[in-house]
Chains A and B, each alone.
Chain A
Amino acid sequence: MVIEKGKKKKIYTGLKRSTRIIRNLTLIIPAAILILMIIVALFADLGWIGLPDIGLAPQDPNATHPRDKLLPPSFMEGGKSDYFLGTDRLGRDLFSRVIYGARVSLSVSLIVIFITALIGTILGILSGYKGGRADAFIMRVTDVALSFPGLLLAMLLWVAIGPGYWTVVLALSVLGWAGYARMIRGESLRIRESDFVAQAQVVGATTWRVMFKHIFPNIVNSLIVIMTLQIGMMILAEAALSFLGLGITAPTASWGSIVADGRTELDRAWWISAFPGICIGLVVMAGNFLGDWIRDKLDPRLRQL
């Protein structure tokens, strides 16, 4: 837009009603999807509050029913009402597996996002605020981490510590912080120059105090945006690892591993891959939309993220 900045805002002051509704839908739908998925993950069963027999999942996700294998979803011809989304090759209830899969997929991505955001933020602020050699060093490491294929590291870890839930978490975390570090550094650099930081320095605040009392609150917005956008990325990454057999160990279901299980059956039992695949797509989209929405709301400058 060529019109000056001040004017641009005014153009939108009188939004049409339909536009407003659509704008809100881009918040409501993704948020609803994410909340729904989290509820599903939490209430797959209530074992964690001592009620293992109550839950959303109608069946044990790992119980096999070989005589009912590869049944289509119940709403299709040939489906059985016991299996809402059909069954896989061992006759396991796909619906229950997808519900339990939400637990693994979401928990992996949330844990990874938490870990990477924490490390990335600390390093980013340190780098941006301290500057100088620390900055140069951290940024070089970040550059390498950003361009190092995480898949290789996942393989290395798989070999070194064996497969498992925490291997996946670790594999996704080891390099994941770099994106945060780079972005947070840029933000910190900007904030470092502002008056209140100078003021704090003048009155003798310690480096750590300045970093976390003054700089951190000013980057929280950007941080939230990236963290939201990362939900989809992490789910996809976990799915890719599972596809290659480097993911969560069987029989535990994650969305990625169910898609991977179903890939050899795609030509005759599309539902195995399709439903967890749709879940992945939904959550990825929801995360991206929500991230975009929050970004537009909080910090439109971050368009390029």
Chain B
Amino acid sequence: MSNIVLQVEDLHTSFFTRAGEVKAVDGVSFFVREGETFGIVGESGCGKSVTGLSILRLLPEPSGQVTKGKIILEGKNLLELSKKTMRAYRGKMISMILQDPMTSLNPVYTIGDQISESVRLHQDLPENMVEGEVISALRLLRIPDPEVRTREYPFQLSGGMRQRVVGAIAMSCRPRLLIADEPTTALDATIQAQYLALFEDIQVKTNVAIIFITHDFGVISRICDRVGVMYAGKILETAPTRDIFKAPKHPYTAALISSVPQLDKKDEKLFSIEGQPPSLLHLPPGCRFQPRCTVAMDICKEQEPPEVKLDENHSVSCWRVK
């Protein structure tokens, strides 16, 4: 078993709005090992992205705040670092790939400019070596003609290529942890597949730990080693990908998996979950999934289920699981 790169313990993140406190992340714990991909899956608005931003400490100020918990990256609690040190960690130790390749590159600077910025900042390199580093980052993401690309502007590239550039920026300093927030959602299916393959490739080459945030179980099955299912600010089930597909323990996980179209079961009707996720301002009493749960019991409406460890890698929060 390789080293744990990131350990998140009981993370609480809230947004303080005029309407009240919005508990976007409400007690999330997980860890990622070196060279491993941990997937966070859930419907939009469940707090996946906020978890990612909390790790980077890039919540919108002053409304968003981590109220409780620990984020330990290689032994250091990120929440205790000074702003300056944290900044030094970003890009160098942790990096992130954002969802929309069309908007996540600055339109007025060249690709080379945007990558070299990171390189210069985090790697103490002589100026003549910067470009080489930039090009090697582009190569890492298998971008053709990297020498030409460095002089181009984002709008001159296709969506897929832009997302690779974003990846190159993220990987330019060989971080220990990469958070990928729905990096493939905006891409076409074929390009998506290529891009996912790239991730595996990168991981092999750099041994980076990856947190892969997505709403798509298909993607999870393709790339993740372990997965956490998140619902309304909480991770309801954590398990190795294979286990979760084989035997989902939480009704929500089960419902999500059954709503994924599968090629081999053509005639079956797709399952969908009734109702809407709850307002994070006014969480239902008891289990947060209970209003939509088809197998809810009385206790579900009264008390929040505790986390139950089924084995070393599989834990679940549900009254039905004992």
Contacts and interface: CB of A to CB of B under 8 A. Distances in A.
B282 interface: yes
Interface string A274-295: 0000000000000000000000
Contact of B20 (A4, A6, A14): A14
A32 B24 CA distance: 40
Contacts of A16: 18-20
Given A2-B60, A14-B282, A19 B45 contact: no
Contacts of A6: 44-45
B281 A14 contact: yes
A53 to B, nearest CB: 53
Contacts of A12: 19
B289 to A, nearest CB: 16
Nearest to B282: A14
Interface string A11-33: 11111100100000000000000
A161 interface: no
B19 A4 contact: no
Contacts of B114: none
A133 interface: no
A19 B64 CA distance: 21
A1 B45 CA distance: 13
Given A2-B53, A3-B50, A4-B49, A11 B60 contact: no
B279 A13 contact: yes
A7 B280 contact: yes
B45 A4 contact: yes
Contact of B15 (A11, A14, A15): A11
Contacts of A4: 44-45, 49
Nearest to B18: A19
Contacts of B59: 2
Nearest to B64: A2
Interface in B35-76: 44-45, 49-50, 53, 59-60, 63-64
B22 interface: yes
B contact residues, range: 20 to 34
A13 to B, nearest CB: 6
A1 B20 CA distance: 15
A163 to B, nearest CB: 49
A6 B22 CA distance: 14
Contacts of B282: 14
Which of B22, B24, B279 is most buried by chain A, counting CB atoms within 10 A of its CB? Answer: B279
A11 B44 contact: no
A211 B45 CA distance: 38
Given A1-B60, A3-B50, A6-B45, A13 B281 contact: yes
Nearest to B49: A4
Interface in B11-33: 15, 17-20, 22, 24
A269 to B, nearest CB: 45
A11 B45 contact: no
B49 A11 contact: no
Given A2-B60, A2-B64, A16-B19, A10 B279 contact: yes
Contact of A14 (B49, B60, B63, B279): B279
Contacts of B50: 2-3
A179 B238 CA distance: 55
Which of A1, A7, A13 is most buried by chain B, counting CB atoms within 10 A of its CB? Answer: A7
Nearest to A16: B19
Contacts of B60: 1-2
A3 B20 contact: no
A15 B59 CA distance: 23
Interface of B: 15, 17-20, 22, 24, 44-45, 49-50, 53, 59-60, 63-64, 279-282
Please provide the 9 A-B residue pairs with the shortest distance between their CB atoms, ordered closest to farther.
A7-B45, A2-B60, A6-B45, A10-B279, A6-B44, A14-B281, A11-B17, A4-B44, A13-B279
21 contacts: A1-B60, A1-B63, A2-B49, A2-B60, A2-B64, A3-B45, A4-B44, A7-B24, A7-B44, A7-B45, A7-B280, A10-B45, A10-B279, A11-B15, A11-B280, A12-B19, A13-B279, A14-B19, A14-B20, A16-B18, A16-B19
Given A2-B50, A10-B279, A16-B20, 8 more contacts: A3-B45, A3-B50, A4-B44, A6-B44, A10-B45, A10-B281, A11-B15, A11-B19
